[in-house]
Amino acid sequence: MKNPILIIVLIAIGFVLTLESTHQFAASPQPNNPQTGTLCEKGERVIFSCPVKRPAKIVSLCASKNLTSETGYLQYRFGLPGKIELEFPKDRTGTQQKFQYTHYFRAQFDLTEISFTNNGYEYQITDDYNGEEKPAQTNQGVSVTAPGKPKEISFVCRTKPKADYTDLQAVLSNGGN
């Protein structure tokens, strides 16, 4: 019997290598002065950022300080400081229409998801807490689903993410609609 963990790791590595070989993961201009532990520049707001377990990279969702539904920008970045592998969208105009935000909260239950699609790949940044489970469960990171593939690849946060979802409901369209 084959080792299922080894198979999953090999599939994830192959997925990342395949993605990195496409033009959409070409190196982009690097942030001038990234904040510690994120890919967001010093003058940007950190919406979500954490180092992921495997591969040893950082996932960040950064915004301009003046982000509203009409002004500013939102940008997803994946990679390492000085070596960003994916920045979406490249153009910083009209970015608010490219992301969706979903938030559900009740006692012992808090689900947050920010999603977008890039070249057919579906991305979901999640920050979920379920205190109804014993022990309580958290799910934080980013999941990517390739075009035509039913299975997603998850990049789980290694540490608690830096997160600030203030005003996102007013800025982004609701993914639940």
Q: Tens-digit pLDDT profile for the chain (177 aa)?
A: 444 443 333 344 344 333 433 333 333 344 456 678 899 999 999 999 999 998 899 999 999 999 999 999 999 999 999 999 999 999 999 999 999 999 999 999 999 999 999 999 999 999 999 999 999 999 999 999 999 888 899 999 999 999 999 889 999 988 654
> Cα(41)–Cα(31) distance, rounded to whole angstroms?
6
pLDDT the model gives residue 31: 43
pLDDT the model gives residue 54: 84
> What contacts 155, CB < 8 A, 6 or more positions away?
52, 53, 54, 57, 59, 141, 142, 143, 144
Q: Is the pTM of this model over 0.75?
A: yes
pLDDT the model gives residue 148: 87
pLDDT the model gives residue 33: 67
- From the list 15, 145, 127, the residue with the least C-alpha distance to 61 is 127
- From the list 15, 25, 37, the residue with the least C-alpha distance to 146 is 15
